[in-house]
Structure 1
């Protein structure tokens, strides 16, 4: 297991990485479905969703950055990746119990399985690379110690939000502590592509959520409006995210990689929650729910506003002048936040349409501003 070159030409996601992503489709779908059920019942149990989503995101993060530096695609590497995929599926199986009964046994077991495979990968990297042994063994030791912490948390029954936050914060510090003297040779364009693919997975979950909800009910004008508005909304958010690929920014500012990578938790969680919100909007349109139209509207508007607001900040960590301007982002967030207030008068479907229109306008304004600032040039993103 030799390190891969960070300047390797034409580095793209491997077929194994694409297969690995499919298991996260299942896990994210399970988390989004439970959030949608909670929102529809008026419980708004975001804490449980964020805990489950953090375990999904963090396991994916660690695999992605490790693979960018050490993906050998040999037999041991493939088998350990399969082990981690099994852990994802175990975690996904435990999501309903975690949401309904705060039973985190299967979720914790799946997470520990995933992280155990990652520990073995780091140990192998340290054994076979003397010059990077310290970094690799530090990662293995930090991850192993925290897995003990998760198991102790489960065994003692201290499954409170406080203990979760403490252990999650320690998880976030492991890569920084292990690599503060010698960074791994991750590939900036490969990392940017992997994040882009995960973004598309999350957008796809939103499409699936709407599709499943529509199939379970009778088609009506309101449902068609929600479906079309939701599709336009998702397409607009996709357009905003891909306005400015991050590969070149990561290449120039490797020192900002931690901030950029960690801040994506908010972006990814917002997209996952948006899928749940769209499902709630469909259910509210098709039949009565024990929540107000305004609450159903905010189930869509809140994650959309969070995504648009965070997107500027995430891009700003790498670029002094993001394509999405701060002014456009702020105005869009304010307008999206106000849209659900019209739900009692105009209905839930109109809220989805208004949120989509605001995001379309954000795309249009951004493209016009970019064209005005670069006259005489042709951009592939415009």
Structure 2
């Protein structure tokens, strides 16, 4: 059957009105990024300074970008075929090297990080180009454009890996900025011009499911950090409350993203005539703050569990309020992209978190955590009730 596939022998067979499933090998590939997310959160925890936060932001953006680009390619290619599986296994090798070097990427192993990242980005895209049949000119040109942009950023990554300190940081910031702007300018290159929206077309349900699974990875990291940290402590009333608050906060985040938004996003992109454009905005760009907010919250959970009493320091305030804040900013923009309107519940939640920031220094870490959890519960319940009421009203009419 693969040989009869007009899209190409190594491409997925797309059946109208049928959702392409996420394969076991894709889930296996994701395990590497469970480790990557853990490394990112732990690196931020141990280097929680302004400069350290900038370093970790650059590394996180690279981790997300290499994963989401792979999600695009496996949306097009068929991971059940041996060549595609081998490509993913090689990507896992690169991902393990990448993840292992995250804590020391701005120290002694920067070149290893850069080589692993550049090899993953260029190698996967070159494989996609190789797998695309010659008669699919638009898709091949799209791959060539992307490969051109990634080759230029690879030079910046490698140059940064060979440099030290501030020079490395600026080169890597330039590399990240170059890669993040490339989809927005549709990978324009001389002579070939811009990529067409048609060349970006994806199987929407699969893309939505892949990105929701990465949200699960990030939430799983928060739950694991909460449990592992709590297990090492002498249990007191304060850290028991902190443990419960962290878990309930993670559940509230899950509810805000999955209860209404994830399903609506999957349905919207599956029916969209411009699935590639929507996948670029809603799932490639706007999931970045969603994931970042969850990771920042995981850092907060560990800080609060270890020091639930006393005054909240800057690290605790930034992570405890900043995590849910960045998450809600990401989700309100994501849901706007798929629904066409801003969720009032999310907007109120954002304002409450900003208001809480004014009083945060006078609150113990435990009560700061409880306050942010209560705000997240309010957002989750409000959205569920309001959208449920809207649905009932629509049925009546």
Q: Same fold (TM over 0.5)?
A: yes
Residue equivalent to 1:315 = 335
The whole-number CA distance in structure 2 between the counterparts of 1:126 and 1:80 is 15
Residue equivalent to 1:69 = 76
Provide the secondary structure at the position in 2 that maps to 1:177: coil
The whole-number CA distance in structure 1 between the counterparts of 2:389 and 2:371 is 27
Kindly indicate whether residue 290 of structure 2 is the aligned counterpart of residue 267 of structure 1. Answer: yes
The whole-number CA distance in structure 2 between the counterparts of 1:91 and 1:294 is 30
Name the CA shift for 1:368/1:44 in 2 (closer, same or farther; >3 Å).
farther
Name the CA shift for 1:128/1:86 in 2 (closer, same or farther; >3 Å).
farther
Kindly indicate whether residue 55 of structure 2 is the aligned counterpart of residue 23 of structure 1. Answer: no
Name the CA shift for 1:130/1:47 in 2 (closer, same or farther; >3 Å).
same
Do the aligned residues in 2 keep the contact of 1:31 with 1:52 (CA within 8 Å)? yes
Kindly indicate whether residue 174 of structure 2 is the aligned counterpart of residue 166 of structure 1. Answer: yes
Q: Deviations over 1:184-219 (max 9, x none)?
A: 441101000001100011001111111222222211
Long gaps (5+) in structure 2: 1-8, 189-193
Please say which of residues 263-272 and 146-155 is displaced more in the overlay. Answer: 146-155
Aligned residues: 369
Task: Map residues 28-107 of structure 1 onto 2, 5 A cutoff.
Answer: 28-39=37-48, 45-98=52-105, 101=107, 103-107=109-113
Long gaps (5+) in structure 1: none
Name the CA shift for 1:321/1:338 in 2 (closer, same or farther; >3 Å).
closer
Name the CA shift for 1:170/1:15 in 2 (closer, same or farther; >3 Å).
same
Do the aligned residues in 2 keep the contact of 1:68 with 1:185 (CA within 8 Å)? no
Task: Map residues 1-382 of structure 1 onto 2, 5 A cutoff.
Answer: 1-4=9-12, 5=14, 7=16, 9-39=18-48, 45-98=52-105, 101=107, 103-127=109-133, 130-131=136-137, 132-157=139-164, 159-175=167-183, 176-177=186-187, 180-181=195-196, 182-242=198-258, 243-244=260-261, 245=263, 246-250=265-269, 251-252=271-272, 253-254=274-275, 255-260=277-282, 261-285=284-308, 292-293=312-313, 295-321=315-341, 325=343, 327-339=344-356, 342=359, 346-375=363-392
Please state how far the C-alpha of 1:120 moved relative to its aligned partner: 3.1
Q: Deviations over 1:337-364 (max 9, x none)?
A: 3435555655211111111111111111
Please state how far the C-alpha of 1:86 moved relative to its aligned partner: 0.8
Q: Deviations over 1:43-93 (max 9, x none)?
A: 672101111111110000110011101225322211111111111111111
Please say which of residues 309-318 and 179-188 is displaced more in the overlay. Answer: 179-188
Q: Deviations over 1:105-139 (max 9, x none)?
A: 22212212322431332231235654332222333
Name the CA shift for 1:129/1:185 in 2 (closer, same or farther; >3 Å).
farther
Provide the secondary structure at the position in 2 that maps to 1:318: helix
Residue equivalent to 2:6 = none
Do the aligned residues in 1 keep the contact of 2:10 with 2:84 (CA within 8 Å)? no
Q: Deviations over 1:153-204 (max 9, x none)?
A: 3224464443323222221344422672241441101000001100011001
Q: Deviations over 1:225-266 (max 9, x none)?
A: 111011111111111111222112223252333221212111
The whole-number CA distance in structure 2 between the counterparts of 1:69 and 1:145 is 24
Name the CA shift for 1:177/1:294 in 2 (closer, same or farther; >3 Å).
closer
The whole-number CA distance in structure 2 between the counterparts of 1:44 and 1:213 is 26
